[in-house]
């Protein structure tokens, strides 16, 4: 399997686990200065923001008006930024956080 396929498979599993986690433990919040709400949550030192087209965040350009997930880790900053429909991974920084999401959440 090539590296791109492995990366996409890993990110798809992260998305699935985080969205499932947020559906049970997340909270709708206003995202700093944006018009609209996002589903946010935390697990230890990992923070998540999940946005869908239904959140009505008007500041996002049309090509980003789809589903988006951003993941931050304390002291590391943003480690994942991905949108899908279609899939676009704009940031993916490997680390222990990946194992936490794949094996614990």
Give 22-66 as a 3 state SS string: HHHHCEEEECCCCCCEEEEEEECCEEEEEECHHHCCCCCCHHHCC
This prediction has a pTM of 0.84
Question: Which whole number is the average pLDDT over 56-81?
Answer: 77
Q: What is the mean pLDDT of residues 46-71?
A: 72
Dihedral through CA 74, CA 24, CA 16, CA 103, nearest 10? Answer: 60
The average pLDDT across 19-45 equals 86
């Amino acid at each position: 399997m090539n590296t791109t396929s492995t990366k996409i498979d890993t990110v798809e599993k992260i998305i699935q686990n985080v969205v499932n986690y947020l559906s049970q433990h997340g909270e709708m919040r206003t995202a700093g200065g944006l018009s609209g709400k996002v589903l946010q949550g935390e697990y230890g030192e990992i923070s998540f923001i999940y946005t869908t087209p239904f959140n009505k965040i008007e500041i996002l350009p049309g090509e980003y008006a789809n589903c988006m997930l951003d993941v931050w880790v304390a002291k590391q900053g943003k480690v994942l930024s991905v949108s899908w429909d279609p899939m676009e991974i704009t940031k993916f920084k490997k680390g222990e956080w990946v194992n936490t999401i794949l094996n614990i959440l």
